[in-house]
Amino acid sequence: MTLAPWNVDAWSSLGERRRRDALPHAILLAGPAGLGKREFADAFARALLCESIRADGFACATCRACKLVAAGTHPDLVRVNFELRDDGKSRTELTIDQMRALSERLALTAQFGGAQVALIDPADAMNHAASNALLKTLEEPTAGTIIVLIADYPARLSATIRSRCQRIEFRVPDGRLALQWLAAQGIGGKQAADALNAGDGNPGLALAWAQGEALKLRGEVAQDLRELNAGVAAAFEVAQRWSREESDLRLRFAASLVQQQGRAQAQGGARLSAGGPLALTRAVDLVKLTSWFDRANRTRDLLRGPIRSELAMLELLATWVMAATPNRDVQQRST
Ligand SMILES: [Zn+2]
């Protein structure tokens, strides 16, 4: 078992606390998807249950407990994930029933006499009732139980839940480390740089995107934004296309492209509006870029709810079109 190199420090400090017998009852692994939180949580759960832990703090992989964990049948490891609905589709929330079941389970003594470990993933998908039910469990911890919450969007957790957990923050590593890691996964050169750029430095996302079609999609999104800005594409047509498939990823790319455009302009001065990743025909000033970035992120949040996505998308794209200053302005400024 090896962890991503940027997570090694967090692993060591958790191991240190374990040796001092000073582990918290609840741990929140917080940070964007793609940084190895789940791999980390898994390694940690295995280590807690292992009967013959290695000197480096990892589970041995050969003892009885490790074999049961690997088989998914260790009685003292509880995983709380999305359940299936009656129609066979996955739920999009963790429910109060799941949290009550968890609480009942943790109230029992550990069957192997060691720790009891619960992994709640994604914890940020608990609905309000589920969150309240979990809070009770967190407020009255049973000795020997460790609850690990995994959240890509920790801000969605209630403040009280967050305050009950020891938080471990997963952050985007520095570029050189990320590129080294990508190279070790077989992604190098311009492909690695482009993918890392698209993922705003997140190596796990960069890897997934370099292996799939995402970078092509990002190119399409950039072109749509450019054409809307130039007034040669119709917002309703683009909105339709964006709502039909990959809405969330398109909005993510749009927000990130606009943010990168803003950064390029801030570094290069107003004259650089025609440069940047979007190579805009008509200038959009920094304030408008920033506010559009926020708006795109809000629209992403909105689309997770039961809203007509085409309308929200159209509204967002119309704002993008309007953010451009008229053509002659730019020409005057750039001559
Ligand atoms: Zn073991």
Summarised one tens digit per residue, pLDDT across range 224-278 is: 999 999 999 999 999 999 999 999 999 999 999 999 999 988 887 655 556 788 9
Letter for the amino acid at 211?
Q
Distance CA 41, CA 49 (A): 12
User: Helix, strand, or coil here: 73?
Assistant: coil
With cut-offs at 50, 70 and 90, classify the pLDDT of residue 333.
very low
- Find the 176 Cα to ligand 1 centroid distance in Å: 34
Question: Measured in angstroms, how far is the CA atom of residue 328 from the centroid of ligand 1?
Answer: 70
What's the pTM? 0.85
CA of 24 to the centre of ligand 1 (A): 22
Q: How far apart are CA 186 and CA 284, in angstroms?
A: 38
The better pLDDT of the pair 188, 335 is held by 188
Instruction: Tell how far the Cα of 116 is from the centroid of ligand 1, in angstroms.
Output: 15
Rounded distance from Cα 119 to ligand 1 centre (Å): 18
Looking up tokens 């200038």 gives: 283
Q: Where do the CATH 1.20.272.10 domains begin and end in the chain?
A: 213-329
- Say how many Å lie between the CA of residue 69 and the centre of ligand 1: 9
Who contacts 135 (Cβ-Cβ below 8 Å, separation ≥6)?
Answer: 158, 160, 161, 164
CA of 137 to the centre of ligand 1 (A): 28
CATH number of 5-169: 3.40.50.300
What token pair was written down for 82?
């999305």
Distance, in Å, from the CA atom of 97 to the CA atom of 183, rounded to the nearest integer, reads: 44
Out of 3.30.450.20, 1.20.272.10, 1.10.760.10, 1.10.3720.10, which CATH number does the structure's domain 213-329 have?
1.20.272.10
Is residue 325 within 8 Å of residue 283, measured between CB atoms? yes
- How many A from CA of 74 to the centre of ligand 1? 12
Q: In 75-148, which residue ranges form alpha helices assigned H by DSSP?
A: 96-107, 128-139
Kindly report, as residue ranges, where domains of CATH 3.40.50.300 are found in the chain. 5-169
- 292 CA to middle of ligand 1, Å? 51
pLDDT in tens, 38-68: 999 999 999 999 999 998 899 999 999 999 9
